[in-house]
Amino acid sequence: MKKLENKVAVITGAGAGMGKAIAQCFASAGCRVIAADINTARLDVLKAEVEASGGAITTIIANMAVESDIEAMIQKAISEYGTLDILINNAGIMDNFQPVGEVDNATWERVMAINVDGPFKAMRSALKIFTAKGSGNIINICSIGGLKGGVAGAAYTTSKHALVGLTKSTGYMYSKSGIRCNGIAPGAVNTSIGETIDMTKITPLVQDRIMTGMALNPRTGNPEEIAQVALFLASDDSNFVNGHIMVVDGGWSTY
């Protein structure tokens, strides 16, 4: 039997990068996937690839800054497959590496809306289903930026620290309800998140304080390597793992 046979998962930011790799990995493991993203073309490619491999997938356009989109995404799992077992909060954006003194309100609010408010609202919606059935699994894609202070800008770093706290709080509070909540803290990974960075805003301060640390990274990871960790956390192999943030960065953050 496959590790996620007959399970239903919602995966955000599934059109590319880690989200796409997780969707493909889960589908191969027998999971029925609801793949959410803001990019229709990327979702179409993902759907074709998963179905060509014999997997079950439904796609939906969802902006994690829009609450009605989030609710529709969760309800899509119910309407298509009758339940929800796993929520993967993967969608996220960067912040141009800007320190506090350089961050404008619009950037701060957008980063928080997508990186924190979106996952929170998706978790709240999913938990209504999980608590009613007495089981469920939430996996938040955090970042080593949620554990350290020097690998991203102020907005992104704050958002990921908040997501780490939300993950631990949820894992603890629902630990007697048959529900687990864990996080993955990747280092640098080959994904499309770079598309959300405006390199013209990289200032001398950023070059001095952040970019010098980037040189310490032993290597860049592949999305498939993160997907395998997500599969472990989503499966029964990790039944006793809860409220944990699993660092997956090739050793970068051990410096």
Q: Give the residue numbers annotated as catalytic, written as ranges.
A: 156
Q: Which amino acid is at 55?
A: G
Whole-angstrom distance, CA of residue 153 vs CA of residue 197:
11
Q: What is the 3-state secondary structure (H, E, C) of 239-255?
A: CCCCCCEEEECCCHHHC
Contact 153, 97 (CB under 8 A): yes
Q: Which of 176, 182, 181, 191 has the alpha carbon at shortest distance from 224?
A: 191
Whole-angstrom distance, CA of residue 136 vs CA of residue 224:
23
For the record, the structure tokens of 57 come out as 């997938």
Whole-angstrom distance, CA of residue 253 vs CA of residue 219:
12
CA angle 253, 108, 247 (to 5 degrees): 20
Question: Phi and psi for 142 in degrees, rounded to 5?
Answer: -90, -125
CB atoms within 10 A of CB 239: 9
CA angle 44, 48, 52 (to 5 degrees): 170
Q: Are strands 56-61 and 86-89 parallel, antiparallel or unpaired?
A: unpaired
